[in-house]
Amino acid sequence: MTWRSVLRIWCGAAIFLLALVALSHWAGPSAASALPVDEKTIPLKPSVTFVKASFLTGELRDLRVTEQVERGTGKVVSVPVLRATLKVTNDSEDQAARLLGGKIEYIDATGKMIPTSHTSFPFIGAPTDRLDPGVSTSQVIEVPFPPAALKPNGIREVSLELTYLPLPYREDTVNIPVYLGS
């Protein structure tokens, strides 16, 4: 590579960077960055609830809905999100479980399900691939919340569906006869 070709490459790169900087200043700040946004939190009651699924006990804690609103106007700028902490405990003495995932469903005041997409979540907080007897695991859940449910009497209950594989759990002792070789 000659000295001239290296000089051409550097000049081309410098011109490209100058054009990029000029275009970014010409475009100015985006509309999204010009509007300050606040996070509005709406607590759900009860804030702690317990559920039982076979030999697993679930505890949903700190149930709340958050949404992003423009400061001053109060206009909602993002989809509301249900946030909670899910703690699952294995109450069995002889079964383990592999936690696969869960799903949240919303029930309105008339008992009908409120259609909402993307409310499934995987279990990522489990320390291993199975939950042994007497062991607990926790994770934060964040799923979309239907805006219609934020109206007065818009929601009656939240349904939690757990998906898991039960695994037989057994401790056993094996005796191995040994002898000293000569």
pLDDT digits (tens, 9 = 90+) for 73-128: 888 899 999 999 999 999 998 899 999 999 999 999 999 999 999 999 998 865 66
Per-residue pLDDT, 173: 73
Per-residue pLDDT, 1: 62
Mean local confidence (pLDDT), 65-76: 90
Q: Tokens 């709406």 identify what position?
A: 42
The encoded tokens of residue 135 equal: 């062991």
Per-residue pLDDT, 13: 64
Q: Where are the domains of the chain?
A: 1-29, 35-168
Q: Which fold has domain 35-168?
A: Immunoglobulin-like (2.60.40)
**Whether pLDDT at 8 is above 90:** no
Q: Give percent of the chain above pLDDT 70.
A: 79
Distance separating the N- and C-terminal Cα atoms of the chain: 74
Does 16 or 91 have the greater pLDDT score? 91
pTM across the whole model = 0.70
Does 67 or 175 have the greater pLDDT score? 67
